[in-house]
Structure 1
Amino acid sequence: MIVGKKNQITREIWLEETLKSLSPGTRILDAGAGELRYKKFCSHLNYVSQDFAQYDGMGDYKGLQTKTWDQTKLDIISDITAIPEPNNSFDAIMCIEVFEHLPEPIKAIEEFSRLLKNEGHLIITAPFCSLTHFAPYHFYSGFNRYFYENHLTNNGFHIEELVENGNYFEYLAQEIRRIPSVTEKYSRKKFFPIHYIAQQWLLWILGKYSLSDTGSDELLCFGYHVHAIKKKL
């Protein structure tokens, strides 16, 4: 049963296809690139990576941490709201699962508008709802469609594509799958075999509900995938 397991793979399939649609040689900025996870999808592009490079894998030891984090291969180290590149210097910008880690995500959108050429592509994904991770660099639990529709439009972008990833039932299943690890870390109780049986029963039920879903993503989903174009002035 795969209900609740499709967050990352669905996002990466969409991202790979979106990046493939860009013309060879397109100069793309990977803003908040981290460990350059998505450089593998940019072999046909002129790839430039940026990050603030202050996260070390341990953070403040709270929430979900990666334990290790290598940012030695970045091209640009800077604040995402003040990237040292000229106006109109990129054909495309991608910012993948970063917005929740920005104190001022709207200022990041303003900076992307400055950096992009007219008709340039802006590719964003971010969670609709998320657990604390990479703390203390976790400032928002998530973003819904109205955030993008409002702030991208106000900063000179036309949204070409805004699609949900998952639905209410898929999200609940994802979190139910976390119960054993969260129990181990935060509860004095043990996760017994009978609890595992109950967990699997709930996942089965949620899988059935997800298959017959008729739009619960408007309530909750993993996140949104956004492809916007900077309009001509």
Structure 2
Amino acid sequence: MNANRSTSLYSSIYAYNGYKRYQWVANQARKLPENTRILDVGAGRGRYRELFTHCAYRAHDFGQEPGTIGSYTQLDYESDIISIPVPDESFDAILCTEVLEHVPEPIKAVHELARILRPNGTLLLSAPLGSFLHQEPYHFYGGYTPYWYEKFLPEAGFTIQSIDANGGFFRLFGQESMRFSALIDPRRTSRSGLLWVGLTLLWIVTLPWMRVLLPLLGVFLDRLRLEHAATAGYHVVAVKK
């Protein structure tokens, strides 16, 4: 097994949320014809730019406090998401992943995406069902359910083609078990004495389960599709009417 395949296998188990989202975007990108005009809204560091080399890719973000949020890719447009400075129907496709939780007015944002997308254009959208606070103070919402998309996307003029969960309960539980292990890592605390000893013992005893076995078990249990009401988030494909 080469290094790339080993890395992909590791990521698919132990960093599945971002990995599966990247694979979903890659699959959708392959469906787009050459020279498709696509806007990556909230592009951030431009993680997906490399997937759209066959397209006329443009990047947008609001460009605030890059030191806090992380460095940006080269931006073609810098603005609030509810007022992107382009004419109506400027793009054939729009990509907007893990952005809506950082937007004060997400419903207005969806309407703006509809404005700049041509009829029959494709919207690729994702947002978390739940997450820890991140990119603070620009984190306003969580809990984007299928019902949110089913209500507000049609109101903005979209027809939904698919809404797919990014893993189910067991994958999510495996992800959070790794977070649990990281949070109780005794190297994270300046405490000493018996409390530190107890924490260290707990961390050592649970480490194989929390960091290795539970995430791996989650891969197999998730295939049974016993529970998908708990998920990292949803991947949505919609078309403008």
Query: TM-score by structure 2 length?
Result: 0.83
Compared with structure 1, are the counterparts of its residues 186 and 75 closer, same or farther at alpha carbon in structure 2 (3 Å cutoff)?
farther
Unmatched tracts of structure 1, length 5 or more: 59-65
Contact 1:4/1:172 (CA < 8 Å) preserved in 2?
no
Give 1:34 deviation, angstroms. Answer: 0.8
1:212 aligns with 2:221: yes
For residues 42 and 115 of structure 1, the distance between their equivalents in structure 2, rounded to whole angstroms, comes to 19
The structure with the largest helix share of the pair is: 2
Give 1:178 deviation, angstroms. Answer: 1.4
Unmatched tracts of structure 2, length 5 or more: 1-9
Contact 1:167/1:210 (CA < 8 Å) preserved in 2?
no
For residues 73 and 214 of structure 2, the distance between their equivalents in structure 1, rounded to whole angstroms, comes to 45
Compared with structure 1, are the counterparts of its residues 200 and 49 closer, same or farther at alpha carbon in structure 2 (3 Å cutoff)?
same
Compared with structure 1, are the counterparts of its residues 117 and 53 closer, same or farther at alpha carbon in structure 2 (3 Å cutoff)?
same
User: 1:196 pairs with 198, 204, 210, which one?
Assistant: 204
Q: Alpha carbon RMSD of aligned pairs, Å? A: 2.3
User: 1:55 pairs with 65, 74, 77, which one?
Assistant: 65
Q: Which deviates more from structure 2 when the two are superposed, residues 178-187 or residues 35-44?
A: 178-187
Which has the greater radius of gyration? 2
Q: Find the counterpart in structure 1 of residue 71 from structure 2.
A: 70
Q: Which deviates more from structure 2 when the two are superposed, residues 122-131 or residues 200-209?
A: 200-209
Q: Give the total of aligned pairs.
A: 222
Give 1:206 deviation, angstroms. Answer: 6.3
Read off the aligned partner of 1:51 and give its amino acid letter. Answer: D
Give 1:196 deviation, angstroms. Answer: 3.4
Compared with structure 1, are the counterparts of its residues 3 and 37 closer, same or farther at alpha carbon in structure 2 (3 Å cutoff)?
closer
Query: TM-score by structure 1 length?
Result: 0.86
Give 1:88 deviation, angstroms. Answer: 0.8
Note the 1:129-144 alignment, pairs <5 A: 129-144=130-145
Percent identical residues: 38
Q: Which has the higher contact order (CA 8 A, sep 6+)?
A: 1
Contact 1:50/1:76 (CA < 8 Å) preserved in 2?
yes
Read off the aligned partner of 2:122 and give its amino acid letter. Answer: H
